[in-house]
Chains A and B, each alone.
Chain A
């Protein structure tokens, strides 16, 4: 049976039409278990459409992600590699697992790992959604990409405009033409869009604005809420391991403290332990522990649980005092002239390490003013001592700044 969204439209470079119109010719040539190194969203969409038949085992990833080492790993795990029509056979023979969809973790702490899902486990949005045209700027095959894609193939009335990595500077015009009414992106994606072309972004008739994939701070939520007063502005916590577990729609950073420990059927249960977010999620990947230690730092401030950054990279030890990179970043990004900031520790004599920052301005501010701004809000060891001004917001294919 065709998926419910078969007649939804997709707009991508080189193709405008429905999922059904993608045809089945790709599927016919596909090995039963394959990792597809895609060049663009059209190839990725064809792979998804093949996956929707339920007869294949698939992994979809940008060609740039499937490095020779990772490809060897995947072949060793029984997947053929399909790259530009060429097939490299698996190194291990085994029966395919039809309906299995593999995702890769971000690999920020080493080589990416495979996480086992199905189209069903990746489908996290329920029935009853208003008709929308979604913007999908995420990297091919990433968890957030799959969330938009599964919405598109499983719910009638959900069209998608895909954005390629090299279209990140120009997407607002295409989105306006396509009638995009819902858009999902990382905070870095939104900051970059508002920095480059705020007028074109503001012209979009957005009803839904979604952020995820990175810590979501109040400054960007406020900016988007003010720009789109009629839209619902949401932030989502999701990962390939945990699945989509937290959705917050009140325009505030963090989630209410009273959500902690609450058990509801079909919903994730959230905990904070030793400053780390723990999640028991029904949408987790197979083989993922029931209670997952996320590695993300969480702190309760004024009744909200704020997820501020990775545990491993957040703490900067300045002469024995512990500075939080995310706290400093949030203070910098709350300055009216700062469009984006990144904070890191730098090895320094005497105190071991010092807090340093890179900043992109969209207004007037001097280094001394920003240092003073921080000094009013942070302990002295947390105030960045070396500030570097960049001309543009750095953004990776993952739409993140740091990974």
Chain B
């Protein structure tokens, strides 16, 4: 299966937030702490990406860095596919 686009990841992230009764910010520089996007939510988002691609994400890949903003999440999951 092909990789999930940045826009698709964004939509999935909005779905994860929505299921928690939270809103996806329009500004990607928004800090995750401010919108209540926690590690459980990040894990769920990763599972959604895995379900879409049919492949397990390799979180042991080099380059794991601090994830602070919406942009960081989108960058990270985009880069992780195929890592």
Contact = CB atoms under 8 A, between A and B. Distances in A.
Interface of A: 318-319, 346-351, 354, 356, 367-368, 371, 380-381, 385-386
A44 B17 CA distance: 56
Contacts of A347: 56
Contacts of B40: 318-319, 351, 354, 380-381, 385
B44 A319 contact: no
* Range of interface residues on B (Cβ < 8 Å): 10 to 19
Given A368-B19, A371-B19, A350 B47 contact: no
A400 to B, nearest CB: 27
B40 to A, nearest CB: 6
Nearest to B58: A349
Interface string B11-51: 00000001100000000000000000001101110111001
Nearest to A383: B40
Given A319-B39, A351-B39, A386 B19 contact: no
B57 interface: yes
A351 B19 contact: no
A348 B57 CA distance: 9
Nearest to A318: B40
A351 B59 CA distance: 11
Contact of A386 (B18, B44, B57, B59): B44
Given A349-B57, A349-B59, A371-B19, A385 B47 contact: yes
Among A319, A349, A368, max chain B CB count under 10 A is at: A349
A348 B51 contact: no
Among B18, B42, B44, B46, max chain A CB count under 10 A is at: B44
B47 A354 contact: yes
Contacts of B51: 386
18 contacts: A319-B40, A347-B56, A348-B43, A348-B47, A349-B42, A349-B46, A350-B39, A350-B59, A351-B39, A351-B40, A351-B43, A354-B40, A354-B43, A354-B44, A354-B47, A368-B19, A385-B43, A385-B47
Among B18, B40, B44, B56, max chain A CB count under 10 A is at: B40
